Amino acid sequence: MTNAYSRFLSALFCLFLGGLLVWHVLLPDRVRSDVENRTLAQRPEFSWSALADGSYTEAVEEYFADQFPLRDQWTGLKARAEQAIGKTEFNGVYLCEGTLISKVEAPDEALVEKNLSYVRRLLEKTDANVYLGLIPSAAEIWQEALPAGAPSWDQTELLAAAAELGLPQVNLEGALAAHAGEPIFYRTDHHWTTLGAFYGANALLEAMGKEPLSREDFTPEIASENFNGTLYSQSGVHWLTPDTMEFWVEDTGLSVTSWRTGSPEPGSLYERSYLEQKDKYSAFLGGNQPLCVIKNEAVTDGSKILLVRDSYSDSLAPFLSQRFSEVHLLDLRYYRLPVAQYATENGIADIVVLYSIPNFITDKNLVFLAQ
């Protein structure tokens, strides 16, 4: 090796390592990552005690990784490399012909049993009608699309167990399976699309003996053609065409009240500012909140429904508002008062516990149903 060539290789090596270090130092620290939807670790405070117990160096490593330059691009490069060697699973997400489908891991059976028992306890606690709606995820409805033999937990196991509970079920599995050929789930996000939510709403109305909605009554508005959802983030697969997000229900005549901070504030059916951000699904009702009430003056029969729900209901609720005077949405992650009491106080006759199956089998807040 000539001296000049040795120097060249050495310089290359040092420039790569040192260059990224300098870049890291010069790059202003970010507070949060929109792609990962979380706050990033910040420069830790030094203390001798933190050094001695090892927490300081650990925090530095976390800070260094979180603030690393081009984080999202590196992840994308990794996904590309994995694809090149024939992988179809990317951090727990399957890539199936332009569609990302999240793998469902086998749940903790004791937790599932407990969660089902909490639903039964709610039934005992309240005089209202209680319905259970479990929404299968794309891994179930679109299982034909998964790579051959790719493992994902059989979600019908939960549906079978739920059928034993002795309360009316919303047949969401049937409703979605009947339209499996249509874009009922996003390709880059784990939620159902507005179309999927429409079929879900009709399944619910049917279970409650209400008149179904007709597709002709809606003129879909394209809210965004540039939606890269959670699966885009989780997988690192950044090369798919972004999803299109639609709003079907018009918000005229609807009044939305949100309890985000403990007191009622005016909300809106569509929080359009989210459409400019990464987290576009939060445009529906403005994302996570403890309690939300949608009132429709046009429905004059005074009917009220309470959904104990996850985020799938954000896009479903607009449809239900077409058939009920009041739709109450309650999120047990943030709302900690008894559900039965809420129904009584608000004169609500129908409660629907409505969860996507991956959430139902892992959620640890359902215990509040039993209060």
Partner 1 sequence: MVFSSLTFLFAYLPITLLLYFLVPLKWRNLVLLVESLFFYGWGEPVYITIMFVSILIDYTHGLLVEKYRYNDKKARWFVGQSVVFNLLLLGFFKYWDFLAANLSLLPGVNLPQLNIPLPIGISFFTFQTMSYTIDVYHRDAPAQRSIIRFGAFVTMFPQLIAGPIVKYKTVAEALDHRVNTAEDFALGARRFCVGLAKKVLLANAIGALWDAQLASAEAGTLTAAGGWLGLAAFGFQIYFDFSGYSDMAIGLGRIFGFRFLENFDYPYLSVSVTEFWRRWHMSLTSWFREYLYIPLGGNRGGTAKTLRNILIVWFCTGFWHGASWNFILWGLYFAAWLILEKYVLKGVLTKSPGWIKHLYTLLVVFVGWGIFAMEDLGVCGGYLAACFGGAPVWSAADGYTLKSYAATFLILAVASTTLGRRCWQWLPDKVKKVLTPVFMLLALALSTAYLVDGSYNPFLYFRF
Nearer of residues 95 and 184 to partner 1, judged by Cβ: 95
Q: Report the distance separating Cα 199 and Cα 194, nearest Å.
A: 9
Number of shown-chain residues binding partner 1 (CB under 8 A): 66
Nearer of residues 199 and 281 to partner 1, judged by Cβ: 281
Assign 3-class secondary structure to the chain. CCHHHHHHHHHHHHHHHHHHHHHHHHCCCCCEECCCCEECCCCCCCCHHHHHCCHHHHHHHHHHHHCCCCHHHHHHHHHHHHHHCCCCEECCEEEECCEEEECCCCCCHHHHHHHHHHHHHHHHHCCCEEEEEEECCHHHHCHHHCCCCCCCCCCHHHHHHHHCCCCCEECHHHHHHCCCCCCCECCCCCCECHHHHHHHHHHHHHHCCCCCCCHHHCCCEEEEEEECCHHHHHHCCCCCCCEEEEECCCCCCEEEEEECCCCCEEECCECHHHHHCCCHHHHECCCCCCEEEEEECCCCCCCEEEEEECCHHHHHHHHHCCCCCEEEEECCCCCCCCHHHHHHHCCCCEEEEEEEHHHHCCCCCHHHHHC
Q: Report the distance separating Cα 4 and Cα 146, nearest Å.
A: 53
Query: Closest approach of Cβ 86 to partner 1, in Å?
Result: 4
**Under 8 Å between Cβ of 340 and 122:** yes
Nearer of residues 13 and 160 to partner 1, judged by Cβ: 13
Stretch that binds partner 1, among 73-81, 209-217, 292-300, 345-353 (CB under 8 A): 73-81
Query: Closest approach of Cβ 13 to partner 1, in Å?
Result: 4
Name residues contacting partner 1, limited to 197-216 (CB under 8 A).
none
Stretch that binds partner 1, among 205-213, 218-226, 233-241, 293-301 (CB under 8 A): 233-241
Stretch that binds partner 1, among 61-69, 112-120, 297-305, 322-330 (CB under 8 A): 61-69
Query: Closest approach of Cβ 232 to partner 1, in Å?
Result: 10
Query: Closest approach of Cβ 127 to partner 1, in Å?
Result: 29
Q: Which of 140, 173, 310, 326 binds partner 1 (CB under 8 A)?
A: 310
Nearer of residues 324 and 335 to partner 1, judged by Cβ: 335
Query: Closest approach of Cβ 88 to partner 1, in Å?
Result: 6
Q: Which of 155, 194, 202, 233 binds partner 1 (CB under 8 A)?
A: 233
Nearer of residues 64 and 264 to partner 1, judged by Cβ: 64
Stretch that binds partner 1, among 31-39, 205-213, 263-271, 346-354 (CB under 8 A): 31-39
**In the stretch 129-168, what mask flags binding to partner 1 with x, by CB under 8 A?**
------------------xxxxx-----------------
How close are the terminal C-alpha atoms of the chain, in Å?
Answer: 76
Name residues contacting partner 1, limited to 102-131 (CB under 8 A).
102, 106
The strand order across the sheet containing 326-330 reads 169-170, 129-135, 350-356, 304-309, 326-330, 291-296, 254-259, 265-267
Stretch that binds partner 1, among 219-227, 264-272, 296-304, 355-363 (CB under 8 A): 355-363
Read off φ and ψ for residue 291, nearest 5 degrees.
-150, 140
Give the residue carrying structure tokens 């009430």: 293
Nearer of residues 60 and 349 to partner 1, judged by Cβ: 60
Q: Which of 30, 47, 74, 276 binds partner 1 (CB under 8 A)?
A: 74
Name residues contacting partner 1, limited to 252-271 (CB under 8 A).
none
Q: Which of 42, 44, 59, 68 binds partner 1 (CB under 8 A)?
A: 68
Binding site for partner 1 (CB under 8 A): 1, 3, 5-10, 12-14, 16-18, 20-21, 24, 35-38, 51-52, 54, 57, 60-62, 64-66, 68, 71, 74-75, 77-79, 81, 85-89, 91, 102, 106, 147-151, 190, 230, 233-234, 236, 288, 310-311, 331, 333, 358-359, 362-363
